[in-house]
Structure 1
């Protein structure tokens, strides 16, 4: 498989004020404010153009920079999952700013973009420390004219060629040692040009390539397809589609 093209990394800057710590891409935001990591800031500017529900609300933002260049971003607050999420919700133990989930995801996205992998561009993150704990938010680029794979398959089938392309894209991440902690059908996007993207790299990381984790990643993805098939009345997926994806992954 051909290696992805190298993309110029972002220009990162740091902002710190009291218990608030941020990093941002100065190419994307020329006049940074930590309030930009809060949905209320964008609601007051009438810049919220949509939202999606997961553990919390993901906000879609459309704005312009000082040069009147349109920016389309996604704002996400970090929430815990599982049983512990019902107790502490959005608080994490603080062990240093570089160890926060927001900083790790921002750094991983920056690395993946530099490798030319089809993942969102990191724009900014904010960490608010409160004693032994912190809360965090991430701002990233929005993939234009894209739907997640579950939404696509709820209305139509896709070709074997596109299934193979999905497999090839996943393999390109694995070949670079990129572990996706929650690889599922919702975190695969298809844009208007049938380009495949992976999103939501919370708890993702670089891992040694020669190990079993890619197999576990793929097994998790297969479970997600089967889960959606059982959950949804209309879900245009079969085991043959999975084989087509594997053919692309193994090519």
Structure 2
């Protein structure tokens, strides 16, 4: 399905100008303009709440309707050292931004704890493109690495983390980069998953689910080796897996 046909059957708005294509939620971004995908625009509005630096910089944006995260798409690994942020263009629906946006929309329909998609932008240059995305900023949320460098978590919270991941797996949601940075707790200790770049809905359950969990465990152990104050143990992992295997959330 092309993007124009998809928009006809949804509440989304399509913006096209020259080599730029954007999709946005009118109810979340009624004042949309293409400059909103630039951190400089928000700095001029004095609307930057903060930032997080990883592969690139994620900017936290204050907005009257919903606070947002602005993220540019960067390549990882060895290829990323050479190409940085350009991707081969094979159609708007195949771009990283469109895929993540539409997956987040699906997660909202399934009422899974993931941020709402707000808007994305794809800029095409010849055979390649660059992309940006705006998503909802989860109020009062902190990632597990930030939390575990300050204090331990209760057994019950570890079980809730496992249950949360299980809910996604029961819907066959593959998270490409399930790690301790992409699991968050809000101020009420609700568990959220973020960063669904390259995520997708699988056709069925299978070994990919175990690979997701193996990746997560490696992430915890990596942070444990790197950060002296990081509080994680085998018992914590057992509690997480106890929650994961309890199957309390059935959709």
Deviation at 1:71, TM superposition (A): 2.1
Note if contact 1:174-1:209 (Cα within 8 Å) is conserved in structure 2: no
Is 2:147 aligned against 1:152?
A: yes
Is 2:236 aligned against 1:241?
A: yes
Per the alignment, residue 37 of structure 2 pairs with 37
What secondary structure is seen at the aligned counterpart in 1 of 2:159? helix
Per the alignment, residue 5 of structure 2 pairs with none
Query: TM-score when scaled to structure 2?
Result: 0.93
Deviation at 1:33, TM superposition (A): 1.0
Is 2:210 aligned against 1:210?
A: no
What secondary structure is seen at the aligned counterpart in 1 of 2:181? helix
Per the alignment, residue 92 of structure 2 pairs with 97
Q: CA RMSD in A?
A: 0.9
Note if contact 2:169-2:205 (Cα within 8 Å) is conserved in structure 1: no
Unaligned runs of 5+ in 1: 1-9, 65-69
Query: TM-score when scaled to structure 1?
Result: 0.93
Deviation at 1:12, TM superposition (A): 1.1
Per the alignment, residue 76 of structure 2 pairs with 81
Compare 25-34 and 106-115 and name the one that shifted more.
25-34
For the residues of structure 1 that align with 2:169 and 2:66, how far apart are their CA atoms? 30
For residues 172-211 of structure 1, the aligned pairs below 5 Å read 172-211=167-206
For the residues of structure 2 that align with 1:63 and 1:22, how far apart are their CA atoms? 19
Aligned length: 237
Note if contact 1:13-1:26 (Cα within 8 Å) is conserved in structure 2: yes
Q: Deviations over 1:41-86 (max 9, x none)?
A: 111111111000001110000022xxxxx42100000000011111
Q: Deviations over 1:93-116 (max 9, x none)?
A: 000000000000000000001100
What secondary structure is seen at the aligned counterpart in 1 of 2:62? strand
Unaligned runs of 5+ in 2: 1-9, 247-251
Q: Which runs of 4+ in 1 moved over 4 A?
A: none
For the residues of structure 1 that align with 2:52 and 2:149, how far apart are their CA atoms? 16
Per the alignment, residue 26 of structure 2 pairs with 26
For the residues of structure 2 that align with 1:145 and 1:31, how far apart are their CA atoms? 25
What secondary structure is seen at the aligned counterpart in 1 of 2:196? coil
Note if contact 1:63-1:71 (Cα within 8 Å) is conserved in structure 2: yes
Note if contact 1:73-1:139 (Cα within 8 Å) is conserved in structure 2: yes
For the residues of structure 2 that align with 1:161 and 1:127, how far apart are their CA atoms? 42
Q: Deviations over 1:176-235 (max 9, x none)?
A: 111000000000000000000000000000002332110000000000001110011111
